[in-house]
Chain A
């Protein structure tokens, strides 16, 4: 082996090892984050965290029950906006549209998907907060719902496209109308994929903080109905983390652990659905 070849082999081995190191570092960040949250948050989670309201500044204890309920309400309302528009829009793109309209809709959806979340917050502020003249659950849910639309729309379209054409033809040969075919044959065939997409969209907006800052705002108490400002887990983590109080820091860790656990569980669950139903996509 000439020295030159030996050198080339050494470089090859060295650089390839280095890429392995890069991959290890990148993946270990996840376990590092999880470990820290479990370490700091685990010791701060107790029953009070889930059942009590925040206590006034200076008092020790209290919980984030209102933020947990607030987040749930925001997500529910957001899906009421984001899922129908995304789903039916996706059905239109996959089943009915001609290519020039489809191009415009897809372009708009991709554009919307790339808009920084804080800008979506300003949009919701102008559209919902200003007319009602105060911060509200509704405004926060609107912002999150808008963020759900592009993800749901593009995935619905993609999964509908993946349904084999023979299924459609079979249904229509039996005399079913176009719409009947879509609703009772095509959509059920793509059901798992679409559910996964909706779950992933929910998990993504569940952690969004920036669009809630000036829409849902925050609240130290319960927020009845949908027209009052409301607390939410991500905003609570933000306010508590940058506060100067140790007890609040403790609770920020606990809230971070709860939020991350929820998001990761939904992610893992959603990916499990799609991998079990993978056959339809082949």
Chain B
């Protein structure tokens, strides 16, 4: 097959396109660094998940250790059932507690894991027993107002 300059330009053009896509994927996007090679799944039940969404980060001591893989409503216990995909590099004791937190006052919701003292480790399919629900701001304000009103009533 004879070589022409058009081939050269076409090749350079396509390579430039792929290079740009690669830059977008690796440098601007989160492909590569963020996706752990292998994960194990752990479940937890929450009374209220607030604004938690699938793919929200799971952090322990502020370090990203996994992501929320699935959220669904357990219709027998009337609670939210959340599945975390945790990076296999990290293991946690069986009595680890999970709580739903917010980064900043109005930031995104994430799951915080606090390690316990058990010698056994969480494995694939285990359940995190100790959970703390999301703090719903409206409810908090309601409670505050209610207790304030009660205080005033008691004083009189």
Specify whether A and B are partners: no
B-to-A contact residues, CB < 8 Å: none
